Amino acid sequence: MTEDEANKNSNKDADMNSDTDTDKDTDTKNILLLLKEELELMEKAADILDYSYQKCKKTGVKVQYDYDELERFEALTSRFARLSDILIQKVFRLIDKIDLESEGTVRDRINRAEKKELIESADDFVKIRIVRNQIAHEYIPEEIYEIFKKVLKYTPKLLDSVNRVKNYTEKQRGEK
Protein backbone atom coordinates (compact mmCIF):
# COMPACT_ATOMS: atom_id res chain seq x y z
CA MET A 1 0.00 0.00 0.00
CA THR A 2 1.36 3.39 -0.92
CA GLU A 3 1.58 6.30 1.45
CA ASP A 4 -1.27 8.08 -0.41
CA GLU A 5 -3.52 5.02 -0.09
CA ALA A 6 -2.74 4.77 3.63
CA ASN A 7 -3.63 8.45 4.13
CA LYS A 8 -6.92 8.00 2.23
CA ASN A 9 -7.85 5.00 4.40
CA SER A 10 -6.89 6.91 7.52
CA ASN A 11 -9.08 9.85 6.44
CA LYS A 12 -12.01 7.49 5.73
CA ASP A 13 -11.65 5.99 9.22
CA ALA A 14 -11.57 9.47 10.75
CA ASP A 15 -14.68 10.46 8.78
CA MET A 16 -16.49 7.30 9.93
CA ASN A 17 -15.54 7.97 13.56
CA SER A 18 -16.69 11.55 13.16
CA ASP A 19 -20.04 10.37 11.78
CA THR A 20 -20.39 7.93 14.70
CA ASP A 21 -19.59 10.68 17.20
CA THR A 22 -22.12 12.98 15.52
CA ASP A 23 -24.76 10.22 15.70
CA LYS A 24 -24.03 9.69 19.41
CA ASP A 25 -24.26 13.44 20.06
CA THR A 26 -27.58 13.59 18.20
CA ASP A 27 -28.90 10.57 20.13
CA THR A 28 -27.86 12.13 23.44
CA LYS A 29 -29.48 15.46 22.52
CA ASN A 30 -32.68 13.65 21.52
CA ILE A 31 -32.73 11.69 24.78
CA LEU A 32 -32.14 14.85 26.81
CA LEU A 33 -34.92 16.65 24.93
CA LEU A 34 -37.26 13.72 25.49
CA LEU A 35 -36.36 13.65 29.20
CA LYS A 36 -37.11 17.37 29.45
CA GLU A 37 -40.55 16.77 27.92
CA GLU A 38 -41.24 13.82 30.22
CA LEU A 39 -40.16 15.84 33.28
CA GLU A 40 -42.68 18.53 32.31
CA LEU A 41 -45.41 15.89 31.95
CA MET A 42 -44.33 14.39 35.27
CA GLU A 43 -44.68 17.74 37.04
CA LYS A 44 -48.14 18.37 35.58
CA ALA A 45 -49.24 14.86 36.49
CA ALA A 46 -47.90 15.32 40.02
CA ASP A 47 -49.76 18.62 40.45
CA ILE A 48 -53.10 17.15 39.43
CA LEU A 49 -52.49 14.00 41.49
CA ASP A 50 -51.74 16.14 44.54
CA TYR A 51 -54.95 18.13 43.92
CA SER A 52 -57.00 14.91 43.88
CA TYR A 53 -55.08 13.49 46.83
CA GLN A 54 -55.84 16.53 49.00
CA LYS A 55 -59.56 16.22 48.24
CA CYS A 56 -59.70 12.48 48.84
CA LYS A 57 -57.56 12.64 51.96
CA LYS A 58 -60.26 14.81 53.54
CA THR A 59 -62.87 12.18 52.71
CA GLY A 60 -60.70 9.37 53.99
CA VAL A 61 -61.27 5.63 53.82
CA LYS A 62 -64.89 4.58 54.18
CA VAL A 63 -67.00 1.48 53.85
CA GLN A 64 -69.38 3.24 51.46
CA TYR A 65 -68.91 6.28 49.21
CA ASP A 66 -71.48 8.52 47.60
CA TYR A 67 -71.28 9.16 43.84
CA ASP A 68 -69.32 12.40 44.16
CA GLU A 69 -66.78 10.73 46.44
CA LEU A 70 -66.48 7.76 44.07
CA GLU A 71 -65.87 10.13 41.19
CA ARG A 72 -63.12 11.91 43.15
CA PHE A 73 -61.48 8.61 44.13
CA GLU A 74 -61.71 7.29 40.57
CA ALA A 75 -59.91 10.44 39.41
CA LEU A 76 -57.30 9.93 42.14
CA THR A 77 -56.61 6.32 41.15
CA SER A 78 -56.36 7.22 37.47
CA ARG A 79 -53.93 10.04 38.22
CA PHE A 80 -51.92 7.80 40.54
CA ALA A 81 -51.57 5.18 37.79
CA ARG A 82 -50.62 7.84 35.22
CA LEU A 83 -47.84 9.34 37.37
CA SER A 84 -46.58 5.88 38.27
CA ASP A 85 -46.30 5.03 34.57
CA ILE A 86 -44.61 8.31 33.70
CA LEU A 87 -41.99 7.78 36.40
CA ILE A 88 -41.28 4.07 36.00
CA GLN A 89 -41.84 3.57 32.29
CA LYS A 90 -40.54 6.85 30.96
CA VAL A 91 -38.47 8.99 33.34
CA PHE A 92 -36.52 6.23 35.08
CA ARG A 93 -35.91 4.53 31.71
CA LEU A 94 -34.57 7.76 30.17
CA ILE A 95 -32.35 8.52 33.16
CA ASP A 96 -30.94 4.98 32.91
CA LYS A 97 -30.29 5.50 29.21
CA ILE A 98 -28.46 8.78 29.88
CA ASP A 99 -26.47 7.05 32.65
CA LEU A 100 -25.63 4.24 30.18
CA GLU A 101 -27.44 1.61 32.23
CA SER A 102 -28.78 -1.53 30.54
CA GLU A 103 -32.56 -1.69 30.23
CA GLY A 104 -33.38 -4.75 32.33
CA THR A 105 -36.73 -5.43 33.98
CA VAL A 106 -39.07 -3.01 35.71
CA ARG A 107 -37.67 -4.32 39.01
CA ASP A 108 -34.12 -3.55 37.79
CA ARG A 109 -35.21 -0.01 36.89
CA ILE A 110 -36.80 0.47 40.31
CA ASN A 111 -33.70 -0.86 42.11
CA ARG A 112 -31.46 1.52 40.14
CA ALA A 113 -33.83 4.39 40.96
CA GLU A 114 -33.38 3.59 44.65
CA LYS A 115 -29.57 3.51 44.29
CA LYS A 116 -29.69 6.92 42.58
CA GLU A 117 -32.00 8.14 45.39
CA LEU A 118 -34.78 8.91 42.91
CA ILE A 119 -37.05 6.98 45.27
CA GLU A 120 -36.86 6.28 48.95
CA SER A 121 -37.67 2.58 48.79
CA ALA A 122 -37.62 0.05 45.97
CA ASP A 123 -40.02 -2.15 47.93
CA ASP A 124 -42.56 0.67 48.13
CA PHE A 125 -42.24 1.32 44.41
CA VAL A 126 -42.80 -2.35 43.61
CA LYS A 127 -46.00 -2.06 45.69
CA ILE A 128 -46.91 1.14 43.82
CA ARG A 129 -46.47 -0.78 40.56
CA ILE A 130 -48.70 -3.59 41.86
CA VAL A 131 -51.38 -1.08 42.90
CA ARG A 132 -51.14 0.53 39.46
CA ASN A 133 -51.80 -2.87 37.88
CA GLN A 134 -54.72 -3.48 40.24
CA ILE A 135 -56.22 -0.14 39.25
CA ALA A 136 -56.13 -1.17 35.61
CA HIS A 137 -57.76 -4.57 36.18
CA GLU A 138 -60.14 -4.33 39.14
CA TYR A 139 -63.91 -4.16 38.75
CA ILE A 140 -65.32 -5.48 42.05
CA PRO A 141 -66.50 -2.53 44.21
CA GLU A 142 -65.21 -3.98 47.49
CA GLU A 143 -61.77 -4.49 45.96
CA ILE A 144 -61.79 -0.98 44.53
CA TYR A 145 -62.25 0.39 48.05
CA GLU A 146 -59.07 -1.47 49.10
CA ILE A 147 -57.30 0.13 46.15
CA PHE A 148 -58.48 3.56 47.34
CA LYS A 149 -56.86 2.86 50.73
CA LYS A 150 -53.57 1.81 49.10
CA VAL A 151 -53.54 4.83 46.80
CA LEU A 152 -54.02 7.15 49.78
CA LYS A 153 -51.10 5.38 51.49
CA TYR A 154 -48.67 5.46 48.54
CA THR A 155 -49.48 8.80 46.92
CA PRO A 156 -47.12 10.76 49.24
CA LYS A 157 -44.28 8.37 48.29
CA LEU A 158 -45.04 8.86 44.61
CA LEU A 159 -45.10 12.64 45.01
CA ASP A 160 -41.86 12.54 47.02
CA SER A 161 -40.16 10.74 44.15
CA VAL A 162 -41.10 13.61 41.81
CA ASN A 163 -39.12 16.01 43.99
CA ARG A 164 -36.23 13.54 44.14
CA VAL A 165 -36.19 13.20 40.34
CA LYS A 166 -36.21 16.99 39.92
CA ASN A 167 -33.29 17.33 42.37
CA TYR A 168 -31.35 14.55 40.66
CA THR A 169 -31.79 15.94 37.15
CA GLU A 170 -30.92 19.47 38.30
CA LYS A 171 -27.71 18.17 39.91
CA GLN A 172 -26.84 16.26 36.74
CA ARG A 173 -27.29 19.42 34.67
CA GLY A 174 -25.28 21.40 37.24
CA GLU A 175 -28.19 23.61 38.28
CA LYS A 176 -27.71 23.18 42.02
Domain of 132, CATH number, reads 1.20.120
24 belongs to a structural domain: no
155 belongs to a structural domain: yes
The mean pLDDT of the chain is 88
User: Which pLDDT score is estimated for 172?
Assistant: 84
Q: Is the pLDDT of residue 53 over 80?
A: yes
Q: Dihedrals φ, ψ of 100, to 5°?
A: 60, 35
Model confidence pLDDT, tens digit, residues 6-20: 555 555 554 544 455
Structural domain including 99 reads 39-173
99 belongs to a structural domain: yes
Stated length of the chain:
176
21 belongs to a structural domain: no
110 belongs to a structural domain: yes
105 belongs to a structural domain: yes
Whole-prediction pTM: 0.82
Spatial neighbors of 126 by CB under 8 A, at least 6 apart, are 107, 110
Model confidence pLDDT, tens digit, residues 60-110: 999 899 999 999 999 999 999 999 999 999 999 999 999 988 888 999 999
Distances (CA, A) of 40 to 25, 91, 99, 147: 23, 10, 20, 27
Q: What percent of the chain has pLDDT over 70?
A: 85
102 belongs to a structural domain: yes
How many separate domains does the chain show?
1
135 belongs to a structural domain: yes
